[in-house]
Amino acid sequence: SANNGTCNPDGCVCTEEYAPVCGSNNQTYSNRCALRCDQNCNQGLQEAHQGRCESETTDKSTQNEVCNPDGCI
């Protein structure tokens, strides 16, 4: 089925480990796995460096994200 340009990161399961990484989109992710999940939606995304972004646009590590064995909501 076509996804009509929307992203569906189903099957992407991450731990709740907090080991922040900064993405090339200047967003802080709670861990490398969370960044890799977002790469499903943003194929140009790369890891810029470990640690929080210095002047980030959005902090993905603090967004309302509920993680469970079925993935993040």
pLDDT (mean) for 15-24: 95
State which residues form the domain around 33: 10-61
Does some domain include residue 67?
A: no
Q: pLDDT, tens digit, for every residue of 20-60? A: 999 999 999 999 999 999 998 888 999 999 999 997 555 55
Q: How far apart are CA 54 and CA 56, in angstroms?
A: 6
Residue 71: per-residue pLDDT: 55
Model-level pTM? Answer: 0.64
Beta-carbon contacts of residue 58 (< 8 Å; ≥ 6 apart) = 27
With a cut of 80, say whether residue 7 has pLDDT above it.
no
Q: What is the CATH number of the domain that holds 46?
A: 3.30.60.30
**Of the ranges 7-11, 12-16, 49-53, which one carries the lowest mean pLDDT score?**
7-11
